[in-house]
Amino acid sequence: MNNYPKIGIRPIIDGRLGGIRESLEETTMNMARSVAELYSSQLKYPDGSPVQCIIADTCIGGVKEAAACADKFEANQVGVSLSVTPCWCYGSETMDMNPLTPKAIWGFNGTERPGAVYLAATLAAHNQKGLPAFGIYGSDVQDLGDAVIPADVSDRLLRFAKAGLAVAMMRGKSYLAIGSVSMGIVGSIVDPDFFQQYLGMRNEYVDSSEVLRRIEQEIYDREEFERAIEWTRNNCREGADLNREEKIKSREEKDKDWEFVVKMTLIIRDLMTGNDKLHEIGFSEEAHGHNAIVSGFQGQRQWTDFLPNGDFSEAILNSSFDWNGLRAPYMVATENDALNGVSMLFNYLLTNTAQIFADVRTFWSPEAVKRVAGWEPTGRAKDGFIHLINSGSATLDGSGRQQLDGKPAMKPFWAISEEEAAACLDATTWYPANRDYFRGGGYSSKFLTKGEMPVTMCRLNLVRGIGPVLQIAEGWAVDLPDEVHDTLDKRTDFTWPTTWFVPRLTGSGAFRDVYSVMANWGSNHGAISYGHIGPDLISMAAMLRIPVNMHNIGEADVFRPSAWASFGMDPEGSDYRACQVYGSLYK
């Protein structure tokens, strides 16, 4: 899983020898090197290693050198292509023609040589040939040879690269469905055409009984299980049993449930990515896994009606730590909601941080809060808020007990301290599952997300006649007074984790007010990421040809391929028209 795609950098040069090319060779190659340094210093892969760049062996002044560069990129697993130039060059002779690679051009804003002219001419060539590319051009004129990358250029370069790498990292991977459709939730009706045509992914399926088979036949690393169950007993605090007396399990039954859910966790991970230890104990086929970058567990109801639920497994796998210490989170969707699993994956690949899976459960108006809790919301919560809550499967990182610049945060695993991981565990209580919902028992996590974290909620939906569409809502987690939180929280499923969410309002459309955000959300689930990453999601969606039907991002932060401007002056309408014309990336 750590064989990541690389960013290919194409230094483009005026090919006229006899004084012009020679004068530009060093400047052009240095421009490519400076971008490579920016990327390797600012961007990391999901394992924490620096992003790698491949630069063409020579500057590209014509088609022969363009072809040699393409060969080098193919041999070195380049998944994202950036062309850079300080000068005029021959556009259609030097452009990147790979139809599957996200691509951009940075045309240097200078007066000595017309880099902007090459940028415009070659973007026109991309548009005419149906190969959309992003255009990057600084707002201020620079001197030829200036090695400084201006801030506005740097922002666009990084946004393009993050989005492009996310697209490239999905390609060739799998979505693993463990079980089938959960309680009629349409997002768990896995659509293989969407995965194949839009994401370049394949679909893998196993029946839920495979988890039970591996438990009963002990097809897991037994040494790791002993370590895992000890860690769980020492770090996962069990809460009071809130079930009716006749549904309370005995201590012996509860202890067996703990062992069962820990084994489930090992097995779901092994199903996703494989485990060489299984080969050593005689299960070579099972050792391979399914090359899954994301998975979903059906659970309800056929499983949970008689077996412990998946809440513990999903919560721990989605977190950045377990009995093996700090590590990258696994993306596991509750109720096999593949579309929310993909939404989590989008966020994760852009940020390298764990994701909260939640129901978009309840809109609380200021009037309703005052009536029920006797408190008039203030601050960010003054216009009301949305209760995000699901059955104990959200990442423990979502408790907000990590810190960045002294404020609550969710960070990549390599930036998390042992103390922060312990704080997330300490903030979580594991309640015996509500056996009205989960007849087989199990354990559900309970925590409260710390407020004032900037977060972005997104959701992918499939709409007949359109295809996939993406929703994006930037906002904040907010704090409520303790007594208000208790009053509101106890009106619903108390044993599940809570995030109080306020979207940023624009005063119009779906973001006219908080109620409108709730009313326009396309499904019952959302994927919540730390940080305001809406602009990155918009750029990535354009690469995948997925229109964005709802967002609260400022116009200046919307960055799409230059071709989108040819589809009309209305940004949302042009996005829909461009995606329809170009079709899915892997059609």
User: What are the pLDDT tens digits along the chain (587 aa)?
Assistant: 468 999 999 999 999 999 999 999 999 999 999 999 999 999 999 999 999 999 999 999 999 999 999 999 999 999 999 999 999 999 999 999 999 999 999 998 888 888 889 999 999 999 999 999 999 999 888 888 888 999 999 999 999 999 999 999 999 999 999 999 999 999 999 999 999 999 999 999 999 999 999 999 999 999 999 999 999 999 999 999 999 999 999 999 999 999 999 999 999 999 999 999 999 999 999 999 999 999 999 999 999 999 999 999 999 999 999 999 999 999 999 999 999 999 999 999 999 999 999 999 999 999 999 999 999 999 999 999 999 999 888 999 999 999 999 999 999 999 999 999 999 999 999 999 999 999 999 999 999 999 999 999 999 999 999 999 999 999 999 999 999 999 999 999 999 999 999 999 999 999 999 999 999 999 999 999 999 999 999 999 999 999 999 999 999 999 999 999 999 999 999 999 999 999 999 98
Dist CA 355 CA 527 (whole Å): 7
Is the peptide bond preceding residue 301 cis, with omega within 30 degrees of 0? yes
378, exposed or middle or buried, with CB in 10 Å at 0-12, 13-18, 19+? exposed
570 labelled catalytic: no
Dist CA 55 CA 72 (whole Å): 9
Cα–Cα distances (Å) from 342 to 189, 195, 317, 348, 545, in that order, read 13, 9, 16, 10, 15
Per-residue tokens: 427: 């903030």
Q: Which of 14, 270, 314, 359 is catalytic?
A: 359
Q: Which of 65, 204, 335, 474 is catalytic?
A: 335
Residue 290 annotated as binding?
Answer: no
436 labelled catalytic: no
Residue 570 annotated as binding?
Answer: no
The predicted model scores a pTM of: 0.97
Please give the backbone phi and psi of residue 434, each rounded to the nearest 5 degrees, phi first: -65, 110
403, exposed or middle or buried, with CB in 10 Å at 0-12, 13-18, 19+? middle
The alpha-carbon radius of gyration of the chain (Å, integer) is 25
Dist CA 332 CA 574 (whole Å): 34
Residue 335 annotated as binding?
Answer: yes
Which residues, 6 or more positions from 562, have their beta carbon under 8 angstroms from its beta carbon?
A: 123, 126, 127, 132, 133, 134, 135
What structural domains and CATH numbers belong to the chain? 6-170 (3.40.50.1070), 174-582 (3.20.14.10)
